[in-house]
Amino acid sequence: MITPDIRDLLSKAVDGDLTVAERKRVDQLLRESEPAAKLLQQLQRDAVRMRTLTPVVPPVNIASRVLAEIRDRQVSPTPTPPAPKSRPLNWSQITLWINVATAAGVLLTIGIGSYMYFAISHQAPTKLGEQQIAKGQTRPSKEVVNPQTLPSKSATNQIVEEPIPETLVVAPTPPTLVPSIEQGPQPRIHEENILAAPSEVMPEINAINITKHRISRFVNLAEVISTEAAHAKLQNDIKADLKTDELIRLDLFCRDPKAAMELLTSLLKSKGCQAITDKFLTDRLSKKPATEIVFFTDVMNPDEVFQLIQLLAKEEQKLGSRAGHLDTLVVAPFLPADLDVLGRILGVSSAFTKQLPKQKTPIDIRKPLPEGTANQLAQNLNKLASQSTLKKSKLVFVGSYSPINPLPSQSKEIKQYLEQRSDKRPDAKPLMLVLRTVN
Amino acid sequence: MNTDDRRLIANTLKGQQAAFGELVRRYQDRLYHAIFRVVDHPDDALDVVQEAFILAYQSLNHFKGDSEFFTWLYRIAFNAAISQKRRKKAAVSLDWSSDERSSIEPPDDSVDIRPGSAMERSEDEHILHHAIQQLPVEYRVVLILKELEGRKYEEIADILDVPIGTVRSRLHRARLELRNLLSTYEE
């Protein structure tokens, strides 16, 4: 099988633009692989064919027409802009600017120094104050006794024999010296009550009203098949969501999109739908680069889509932790941007935008697509394959969502899908299901 | 740069329009042939080539002479052709049934609708030309410059003002896409 890498290598070989290692690889390929040798031969032949294409001569003498146009339009070569004059250096100006720069530098230094001084002094007022207090404060010493308590020596000369009662008098501490702390600027008077309740200062934010605003619904697959009463409402809500929009958009997050794709394909087959997979996607998956996969079909009604989701959930439950392919399902509103993407994927942008019903009223975000979109879309798609006589079947197209196939018109699978898809049933809705990877 | 071209450019800048006429005559056929393969319509190719020469005349003072005159002219012409192709693609209806389907069905060669062709072209050439037209314009331009004009990668990169790596990558993609398209006809 010729992989894209081999194809690239062979294309380089046509130009001889190969490194030594690549040359060896090509030689080996040519010996071992007949398809590779054939492809190289074809590419070389195509190059020769291009070089030998018959030259196409202009029907008229271009030179005379060009000269006539130049005269008529009075065109002339644009003059080149003059080179900027080099001026001699103005030393007096240079000196002036040097002086200005010096003065600015000095002022800046003074400013930074002042800022740092005040910042440091404000940073440790307690420490500084404590030190000063410690210095100024006189600790009451037990040894200090208020002289008033001691009997003073009387003027008399009588000798008092009674012992002088010793009483422990706690001398009042002398007033502490309050250090002079630099006073900072007065605090700004704030009129508003900053401790007010948030509701008094914050703008009011209205809660999202789910009935008015349609948002994506994140669903745990297990809940879709749960028989608990709590999950019954969820299941009904999902069914309602699927019926709301003209088209159904589902995103299914999974760890292995390829495995999820295979599972989904087999489940669709069990429901009588045949999957047609774009070769661009198949090639990408064989190389295992990160790919998101899209399933598109319009053969199922919303109830059948819900049953498909339930089947997926049951399979996931059966496989248990062994597979763990599927993660969260997102039921999202189908937006006009999704229509554009789908059109590009199938290479039929016009079918997805041409003659679709217009919004009569301003866009309702609960229903972004106008009524009748699904039916008109089906008609547009039918027109594309109106001349096909192939048998119609219930088909599902499987393609690459990211990246999109750059050449959808060259895809035989897309062509086959468009030509063989069956007519849309009245109750069916187009479904776009994207398999996304969980990081 | 070629001495003759240098002389003609110098004379043009002196006011001799006839010198510019000589330059145009030298390169008109070759440029038209290449541009025709990009835009696929004789009238469009004529317009693009004519306009490219007029722009070149206007900008002659800015041509530094560090590349060949023809390379510089090609740059002007191919940019104009690519812009025109993109403008036309945006304006034309994208009805798949009339436009893209023709890439798959065999072309109708009962009437040669290209009045500019000097000789009757074989069906093989017709198919090749049709396949080239199906390529994205960026791929088509690189393929034409490489295979039709025989330009080197560096020259193509200079003309299109893209890195050489981009030129290589586009060329390889273009060849493979062309092969895919041609194999459809060959089946």
ipTM (interface predicted TM)? 0.78
Indicate yes or no: CB of B54 within 8 angstroms of CB of A349: no
Pairwise pLDDT comparison (A116 vs B89), residue with the higher score? A116
* Per-residue model confidence (pLDDT) at position A388: 57
Q: What confidence tens digit (pLDDT) does each residue in B110-130 have?
A: 334 454 444 445 778 888 888
In angstroms, the separation between the Cα of residue B64 and the nearest Cα of chain A is: 11
Are the beta carbons of A316 and A221 closer than 8 angstroms?
Answer: yes
| Contacting residues of B for A43, CB less than 8 Å apart | 175-176, 179
Cβ contacts below 8 Å, chain A against chain B, sum to 160
pLDDT at A201 (0 to 100): 56
* Mutation site for A-interface testing, chosen from B8, B13, B20, B96 by largest number of A Cβ within 10 Å: B96
What is the least distance, in Å, from the CA of A73 to any CA of chain B?
Answer: 10
The answer to whether A323 faces chain B, any CB pair under 8 Å, is no
Q: What is the pTM of this model?
A: 0.41
Flag whether residue B58 sits within 8 Å of chain A, measured between CB atoms.
yes
Q: Please, which residues bridge with residue A269 across strands?
A: none
The partner residue sitting opposite B28, judged by closest CB among A14, A58, A71, is A58
Reported as a pLDDT band with limits 50, 70 and 90, residue A139 is very low
Chain B contact set for A407 (CB, 8 A): 177
Express each pLDDT in B27-72 by its tens digit: 998 899 889 888 888 888 999 999 999 999 988 888 877 778 888 8
Q: Is B3 helix (H, G, I), strand (E, B) or coil?
A: helix
Omega within 30 of 0 (cis) for the link into B42? no
pLDDT at B100: 41
Q: Do A70 and B20 lie within an 8 Å CB cutoff? A: yes
Determine whether the interchain pair B45/A14 forms a contact, defined as Cβ–Cβ distance below 8 Å. Answer: no
d(CA A7, CA A371): 47
Give the sheet arrangement for strand A248-254, strand by strand.
Answer: A217-220, A326-332, A248-254, A429-437, A292-300, A395-402, A274-277
Residue B69 in contact with partner chain A when CB distance is under 8 A: no
**Amino acid letter, A244:** T
Query: What are the helix (H) ranges across B14-161?
Result: 17-39, 42-58, 69-91, 123-134, 137-143, 153-160
Q: Is A177 on the interface with B (CB under 8 A)?
A: no
